[in-house]
Chains A and B, each alone.
Chain A
């Protein structure tokens, strides 16, 4: 299926494998980028895209295999090294130093320790040219980034890449922080560069962008390279099916054991909710005993929504209310939410969840310890029994509370984290993408577990960026897009295509609506600037 490039590749990944300890992030990855092409790199979350990017931008070195630039193997031991080989990268995270002017942020790293590569004027002119071509105001080069909008910050990092000499530009979800006009100007700029034989590796979730831009696309799935397809083949449907690994992506999809609940017995609700400043407001009901899936691409508001529901994040406007035996109590913060029976399982395990220096038992019992304590002194026996109970229920391996949490696989660590909150026996359990980068066995356990919980009357709200997951275990799915719930799907309408389409701001039903949406999508993007 892959069409080999005619000229020798600008950059080539040959049989790259990369491991973090036990977990394999990338195995036998093959990717070759021809001069003057825009090469798409697509795949669901955790498919190894970001690993590829890190390898090419010199942040990591591969465990096996080699990176070739212009045909010869190179060692990209640092971002500086990558730039020496004229590979520049713009990341999704807008990496700027707030204490330096925009201009300094753009040119830092181009010069030696002391020697400046260019005069201040030369820098300003070069930078202003690029900034102007991206349609942003040159003022952003002078002011301190503290006060710039997300989009303006991203313009800085784009400029940083474009002012450097480059053969390959890597855009790692870089457009997700841009407003539409800037994005389009960027695409125009890239078009010119292509004519000069420069190439772009374009990593994006946004099908519309891919369609506009790419010549070829390489698809990654769970760490493996599925293949590379030419522009003609690279239709959304094709790519999606390659990403999901199913040929029937277009086909109507029904989930086993689906039950649509008529009972509008609402336990948690958001009223006139808007997640970030100026984002459109919406309402959302969570029904008692259901599993509500929250879908959407990274950075489209999904995680903001769950955080807001759990009281971890303040609402920009509107309110979240929980049903406390008949009366609506407003959720003001996560401590109060916890007292009202809402438990929140944070998303980023490492940053927000685990205590790396502590044991499995400690990690699991942290939130509920007081319940086993008299006068601050807990009865370790009763804590341990509870911990073991949860560990059995969740099937944590190894079944040893005194095991260091850092010794566990991602999946088991995640089980422990969930166990911490299950131990609190909440009415509503809110999970922030609990299954990201988790092995299949664990996933299966989870689906069953969640069912069990709902049987027992617990309500579950679960964020997932993997459509499969949402389909497999949710009663309803609210898809977030542009910082608001774009659509809530259930029953018949809850299909792979529907979810996928909604993620990209479309309704499967009518194609035209895509334009409407993208237009109001734009308006929203504009306001944030």
Chain B
């Protein structure tokens, strides 16, 4: 009655099979690590009319070719675009904009900080203005995915179902929403992605020239350091296109200038940046010629230097935070940065959206613009006494917007005059 395979023998059996599976498993894991070195070799996968996303990689022929086609007036801003975005024709080419009034919707991947809140405030301000012009249908639907890609995707779908005409998407993950965008496009809804590159070629992107900005601040640092010594690059979140792009820009400049480059990973988080910097300083007693800011770094880095009792080198800024300006005022150490508030981004996104609603056709799927620079010459115009080291606000462009509307004239063709609005960035609270 006892069967051939008693628990005992089957135990021996599973031991063996378990081991086998284990081995196979490790092999697979190793291949995975193999990819580490191997994912360099080119992606022949995309043979379509959009360039490939080449974050942290050198330019391909396709990239350089695509750059040639960019109108000369805007080419600077598009430098190194392949690090953060894919360039190609307007995916909405055969899209017929509906007549006003339009329903605007705002899908944010996260709202839990002041920067994001500024973006939303500005968007609401603009919609109110357009409403006064009778161009808006109902309230703006706002959603927040708390950094949950699939949730944001459903939220976008929901907005489509709720009859939005324009969905402005604030910093979606690089991949993860393309399907949602596709179904939005099919439903005739205009999707504008703000403040980040994306892998999706089925949405309009509005972003600033990260690579170019990175280059600009790096060039300044090279000049200040006299092109020798060690610069520390304070990197953002690994793998996030926006971060990689500016870093690529800076790296390129530093390598050209022949500076020694070392890295800390700040992950755009003040506490992390400061501890990383402190740990770096404790482990590197020799002089640092300068620190390049990949975002949020300037203030915590300065504090780190002061508190480690080291003399402060040249530290760039990036996003032009009020705290950074206050810091500059306090230390009186010259720096460089840009105005990169979320508000500005929203303003540019609306410009693009309104042009397309007015029937204009963008030359490209991605619309990049340069950021206003903050430097010693215009510092006093940006700095306000209310700004403190712990202010959460951002400096705003002096003339209320990153670029004049005319900037887009070369990038769009056809259509009528778009509706206009005041950015009212200067009315944002300084605190």
Q: Give the interface of A toward B (CB within 8 A).
A: 78, 80-81, 83-84, 86, 109, 111-113, 115, 117, 165
**When each residue 286-300 of chain B gets 1 if its CB lies under 8 Å from chain A and 0 otherwise, what string results?**
000000000000000
Report 21 cross-chain contacts, Cβ distance below 8 Å, ordered by A residue.
A78-B7, A78-B8, A80-B6, A80-B7, A80-B8, A83-B7, A84-B2, A84-B6, A84-B8, A86-B2, A109-B7, A112-B3, A112-B6, A112-B10, A113-B7, A113-B10, A113-B14, A115-B10, A117-B3, A165-B1, A165-B2
- Cα(A83)–Cα(B7), bound, Å: 10
List chain A residues, Cβ under 8 A from B14: 113
Q: How far is the CA of A112 from the CA of B7 in the complex (A)?
A: 5
> 8 tightest CB-CB pairs across the interface, nearest first?
A80-B7, A112-B10, A165-B1, A112-B5, A117-B3, A84-B6, A113-B10, A80-B8
Instruction: List 8 additional A-B contacts (Cβ < 8 Å) besides A117-B3, A165-B2.
Output: A78-B8, A80-B11, A81-B8, A111-B3, A112-B3, A112-B10, A115-B10, A165-B1
**Chain B positions within 8 Å of A84 at CB level:** 2, 6-8
B15 CB to closest chain A CB (Å) equals: 11
Distance of A84 Cα from B6 Cα, bound (Å): 7
In B1-55, the 8 Å CB interface with A consists of 1-3, 5-8, 10-11, 14
Q: Across the two chains, which residue of chain B brings its CB closest to A86? A: B2
Which residues in A have their C-beta under 8 angstroms from that of B7?
78, 80, 83-84, 109, 112-113
Q: Which residues of B contact A86 (CB under 8 A)?
A: 2
A84 to B2, CA, bound (A): 8
Chain B residue numbers with a CB within 8 Å of A111 are 3
A204 and B198 CA atoms in complex are apart in Å by 77
- Contact check: which of B2, B5, B8, B11 meets A115 at CB < 8 Å? B5
Q: How far is the CA of A231 from the CA of B177 in the complex (A)?
A: 84
A389 to chain B, nearest CB (A): 53
Residue of B3, B7, B11 with highest tally of chain A CB at under 10 A: B7
Give, as a whole number of angstroms, the nearest-CB distance from B95 to chain A. Answer: 56
Quick one: closest A residue to B9, CB to CB? A112
How close is B18's CB to chain A, nearest CB, in angstroms? 11
List the B side residues contacting A109 at CB < 8 Å: 7
Size range of the chain B interface in the assembly: 10 to 19
Nearest-neighbour CB distance to chain B for A464, whole angstroms, equals: 41
**B363 to nearest A CB, angstroms?**
63
Question: Bound state CA distance, A118 and B1, in angstroms?
Answer: 10
Residues on the A chain within 8 Å of B1, using CB: 165
Question: In the bound complex, what is the Cα–Cα distance between A220 and B312 (angstroms)?
Answer: 85
The CA of A78 and the CA of B6, in the complex, are separated in Å by: 12
Nearest-Cβ distance from residue A125 to partner chain B, whole angstroms: 14
CB-CB < 8 A to A112: which residues of B?
Answer: 3, 5-7, 10
Tell me, in angstroms, the Cα distance from A290 to B351 when the chains sit together.
Answer: 98
Residues of A within 8 A of B3 (CB): 111-112, 115, 117
A79 smallest CB distance to B (angstroms): 9
The residue among A86, A112, A113 with the most chain B CB atoms within 10 A of its own CB is: A112
Question: What are the residues of chain B within 8 A of A117 when measuring CB–CB?
Answer: 3
CB-CB < 8 A to B11: which residues of A?
80
Q: How close is A61's CB to chain B, nearest CB, in angstroms?
A: 15
Which residue from chain A places its CB closest to the CB of B7 in the assembled complex?
A: A80
A115 to B8, CA, bound (A): 13
In Å, the complex CA distance between A112 and B9 comes to: 9
Q: Which residues of A contact B2 (CB under 8 A)?
A: 84, 86, 165
Rounded to whole angstroms, the CA-CA distance of A86 and B6 in the bound complex is 12
Chain B residue nearest to A77 in the complex (CB):
B8
- By a CB distance below 8 angstroms, the chain B residues around A115 are 3, 5, 10
Residue in A closest to B11 when the chains form the complex, CB atoms:
A80
Bound-state CA distance A80–B7 (Å) is 6
Give the distance in Å from the alpha carbon of A84 to the alpha carbon of B11 in the complex: 13
Assembly CA distance A3 to B10 (angstroms): 41
In whole angstroms, how far apart are the Cα atoms of A86 and B8 in the complex?
13
The closest CB in chain B to the CB of A113 belongs to B10
Residue of A nearest to B2 (CB): A165
Q: B81 to chain A: closest CB distance in Å?
A: 56
Distance in angstroms between the alpha carbons of A514 and B3 in the assembled complex: 48
Give the distance in Å from the alpha carbon of A165 to the alpha carbon of B3 in the complex: 10
Nearest-Cβ distance from residue B392 to partner chain A, whole angstroms: 44
* B2 CB to nearest chain A CB (Å): 6
Q: Please give the distance in Å from A210's CB to the nearest CB on chain B.
A: 31
B260 nearest CB across to chain A (Å): 53
For A113, list chain B residues within 8 Å (CB).
Answer: 7, 10, 14
In whole Å, how far is B13's beta carbon from the nearest beta carbon of chain A? 8
Q: Which of B302-344 contact A (CB under 8 A)?
A: none
Distance between A57 CB and nearest chain B CB, rounded to angstroms: 14
Expressed in whole angstroms, the Cα–Cα distance for A84 and B7 within the complex equals: 9
In Å, the complex CA distance between A109 and B2 comes to: 12
On chain B, the residues within 8 Å of A80 by CB distance are 6-8, 11
Q: How far is the CA of A113 from the CA of B13 in the complex (A)?
A: 10
State the Cβ distance, B14 to closest chain A Cβ, in Å: 6
- Give A78 Cβ to nearest chain B Cβ, in Å: 7
Complex CA distance for A78 and B14, rounded to whole angstroms: 16
Q: Min CB distance, A494 to chain B, in Å?
A: 52
CB distance from A65 to the nearest CB of B (A): 22
CA distance A109 to B7 in the complex (A): 7
Measured between alpha carbons, how far is A78 from B9 in the docked complex, in Å? 12
A521 to B418, CA, bound (A): 98
Q: How many whole Å from A173's CB to the nearest CB in chain B?
A: 26
A291 to B61, CA, bound (A): 100
Bound together, the chains give a CA A117 to CA B1 distance in angstroms of: 9
Docked CA distance A84–B14 (Å) = 18
Bound together, the chains give a CA A348 to CA B325 distance in angstroms of 71
B8 to chain A: which residues have CB within 8 Å?
Answer: 78, 80-81, 84
Closest Cβ–Cβ distance, residue B272 to chain A (whole Å)? 37
Q: Please, how many angstroms separate the alpha-carbon atoms of A112 and B14 in the complex?
A: 10
- CB-defined contacts of B6 to chain A, threshold 8 Å: 80, 83-84, 112
Name the CB-closest residue of A to B10.
A112
Distance in angstroms between the alpha carbons of A101 and B64 in the assembled complex: 70
How distant is the Cα of A113 from the Cα of B11 in the complex, in angstroms?
8
What CA separation (Å) do A111 and B14 show in the bound complex?
14
Q: How far is the CA of A84 from the CA of B8 in the complex (A)?
A: 8
CB-nearest residue of chain B to A79: B7
- How far is B12's CA from A84's CA once the two chains are assembled, in angstroms? 15
Closest residue on chain B to residue A114 by CB atoms: B10
Nearest-neighbour CB distance to chain B for A89, whole angstroms, equals 15
Q: Which residues of B contact A78 (CB under 8 A)?
A: 7-8
What residues of B have a CB within 8 angstroms of the CB of A165 in the complex? 1-2
In angstroms, Cα B2 to Cα A165, docked, is 7
**Bound: A396/B154 CA distance, A:** 70
Q: Which of B361-420 contact A (CB under 8 A)?
A: none
A351 to B7, CA, bound (A): 32
CA distance in complex: A41, B400 (Å): 97
CB distance from B193 to the nearest CB of A (A): 50
Complex alpha-carbon distance, A115 and B1, angstroms:
15
Q: Give chain A residues whose Cβ lies under 8 Å from the Cβ of B5.
A: 112, 115
Q: In the bound complex, how far is the Cα of B2 from the Cα of A231, in angstroms?
A: 33
